[in-house]
Each structure stands twice: as structure tokens, then as C-alpha cells.
Amino acid sequence: MHKEEYRFSFEVYHSSNDLLPADANLLEQARAVTNIAYAPYSHFSVGAAALLANGEIVKGTNQENASYPVGICAERALLSAIGTLYPNIPIQTMAISYHNFNQNTNSTHPISPCGMCRQALLEYEGRVQQPVKLILSGLEGEVVIVPQSNLLLPLSFKGEHLKK
């Protein structure tokens, strides 16, 4: 028997003012798009914006449903849109923000993608052979940058495991 250890590093910024202009711009777009999320059940609106290798920016929001499990997270809604609009174009960066309407104040702490979205991000990275940098933040305050989304899913299950 031996033990293995998993570690990864990420960056924490005091606010979006400390980001590179392109990152600050993408985060601003993710924050803005929280306003058009469809989240009548959770009142938790998530916005995501992706900068593609071809320079395009595509946005996504969570889309809920009266049959709750039918709803989809902003990140996977965005990945589906990108996979359809720009198949096989790498995603350089994805910014994710949210507004929790259950609270009276603006969100000030980053959230990170749920497990299902981590799996979907991993598949996209594998498909285009390029990592996705994540920018995570509320509507204001601290910003976390994860250099590649696969770092959030160690010991992951991949397509190669299905091969004969």
C-alpha cells in the first residue's frame, strides 16, 4: 500500500479591480447575465460567460423547471450552447457569478461549479484538448481563479475508461 496526495493551487483576488482587463470584462458579463436566469423556484440566479479561442463570448444562465430535476445549471447550459454554436472551439476562460434573491444583499463570495458541471467541463476540456480557466465570484467582492477546471475533479471518470 502507498498513499497519494492531491493538491492544487488557485488564485484569490480581493476584487475584480485586481484582475486583468479581459478577465474583469468576462466576469462583468457573467454578473450581468444573472439578471436573465430563469430561477423561479430556487431564486438563485447563476450567470456564466465564456471567452472562446476564436474571440467570441457566449453566455448562459440556469434554467429551472416545475419538475425540478429537469432544470439545468448555467455552466452546462453554456457548454451546450457553445458545443452547438462553435463545435470544437476551445474555451479559454469561463466566468461564473450568481445572485441569491433569497438574501437582501448582493452576493460577495464565489461559488464553484456543482459536481455534474465539473464532469461536463472535464469532457469539454478533453474534447478540444485545452483547459478551461475558471473565474468565480459573486456580484461583488472576492474573486477566485482556478487555472484549469479539471483540477476540481480529481480521480475523474473519462471516456477512455469506456474503450474496449
Q: From residue 34 to residue 63, what is the string marking binding to ligand THU with x (rule CB under 6 A)?
A: -----x--x-x-x---------------x-
User: According to the binding rule CB under 6 A, does residue 146 interact with ligand THU?
Assistant: no
- The 8 Å CB, 24+ separation contacts for 153-157 are 153/115, 153/118, 153/119, 153/121, 153/122, 154/6, 155/6, 156/119, 156/122, 157/119
Q: Measured between alpha carbons, how far is 126 from 130 in angstroms, rounded to an integer?
A: 7
CB of 68: closest distance to ligand THU in angstroms? 9
Q: Measured between alpha carbons, how far is 22 from 93 in angstroms, rounded to an integer?
A: 10
CB of 126: closest distance to ligand THU in angstroms? 20
Backbone angles phi, psi at 162, to 5 degrees: -90, -10
Say which of 4, 11, 64, 75 is annotated catalytic. 75
Report the residue number, 41 or 88, with the smaller CB distance to ligand THU: 41
Positions that interact with ligand THU (CB under 6 A): 39, 42, 44, 46, 62, 64, 71, 73-75, 111, 113-114, 117
- Tell me which residues are annotated as active site: 75
